[in-house]
Structures are given as structure tokens and as C-alpha cells.
Amino acid sequence: MNDYLKEAIAIAQAQASVRVMNEEEIILFIQNVANNLKSIAESDEKEPDMPTAEMIAQARKSIKEKEVICLECGKTMKVITDRHLRQHGMDAAQYKKKWGIHKRVPLTCKYLVRERSTRMQAMQLWEKRHSRQEMEEHDDSQSA
């Protein structure tokens, strides 16, 4: 006898003590309850949002210095794009959730992330300088 059936019988016994049930009703009741308990337990096991410790460890290793490995297909790239993930029927958020990657972690190899942030800083500096220059040039043209 499986656990669901045992539990269902216990519930049926409790039910039978509070209301009058004939044999058929009791059997039907037990069958229904056992099936429901089973499907609840099985849907719990199939929880897709919970990455296993193994998956998380694999995901952590997938973002390397010069490449990122797509955990879905094992392909090596510099950046895992949304376009690539669409082939697997998911977006970056779903991918990160599935593999237990923090949502603020970019799916980009480490050196590109660093390069990008230095380039951003350089660009901001350049923009500041450039806009000042433009103003000065503008002043010149006005005075000329």
C-alpha cells in the first residue's frame, strides 16, 4: 500500500466519523484523495524554478575570463545574447533563474565586462571634455 493511499484512508476515516458515508462513497473518496495527494506531491517534485546545487556550481563555472558557456547547449561565446537564448525558448531572466545566476550578473565573459566598464568611464570623461570643447568652439564661432 502506498503512502498516498494510507493518508487518504486516514482522511476518509476522519470524514466517516463526522458524516455518514456508505462503502461506495468511502472508496470513491479514498481514490480521489489518494490521486490528488499524488498529483500534488508530483507537481512539487517537478518544480522547474529550483536549480540544484550542481546546476548552480556549473553556472558559476560557465562565466570565464574570456568566454561564457551556454548552459543549455554547451556553446562557447563571449556574450550570451537574448537572441541566442530565444533558441532555447527562454530569455536572460528565465535562464538566470533556471541556473541560479544572480539577475545582476551579466552573461558576458569577465574581461569584456571589465573592458566595457573602463570604456564607459573613458567615454564619460571624453564626453565631458568634448562637450566643454564644443561650448568653447561654439563661443568662438559666435565671436567671429
Beta bridge partners of 63: 68
CB-based contacts of 1-6 (< 8 A; 24+ apart in sequence)? 2/34, 4/34, 4/35, 4/37, 4/38, 4/41, 5/30, 5/34
Encoded one letter per residue, x for contact with Zn ion by CB under 5 A and - for no contact, window 84-123 reads ----------------------------------------
Q: Which is nearer to Zn ion, 30 or 69 (CB)?
A: 69
Residues 17, 73, 102, 118: which binds Zn ion (CB under 5 A)?
Answer: 73
Task: Select the residue interacting with Zn ion from 26, 55, 72, 77 (CB under 5 A).
Answer: 72
φ/ψ region of 51 (left if φ > 0, alpha if ψ in -120 to 50, else beta) reads beta
- The answer to whether the CB of 2 falls within 8 A of the CB of 30 is no
125 alpha carbon, distance to own chain's centre: 36
Q: Which of 8, 70, 107, 109 binds Zn ion (CB under 5 A)?
A: 70
Reading the block at residue 24, the C-alpha cell is 461506495
Q: Output the smallest distance, CB 5 to Zn ion, in A.
A: 43
Minimal distance, residue 77 CB to Zn ion, in Å: 8
Rounded to the nearest 5 percent, the helix, strand and coil shares of the chain are 65, 5, 30
Closer to Zn ion by Cβ: residue 11 or 90: 90
What binding mask, one character per residue, do residues 29-68 give for Zn ion by CB under 5 A, x or -? ----------------------------------------
Residue numbers at the binding site for Zn ion (CB under 5 A):
70, 72-73, 75
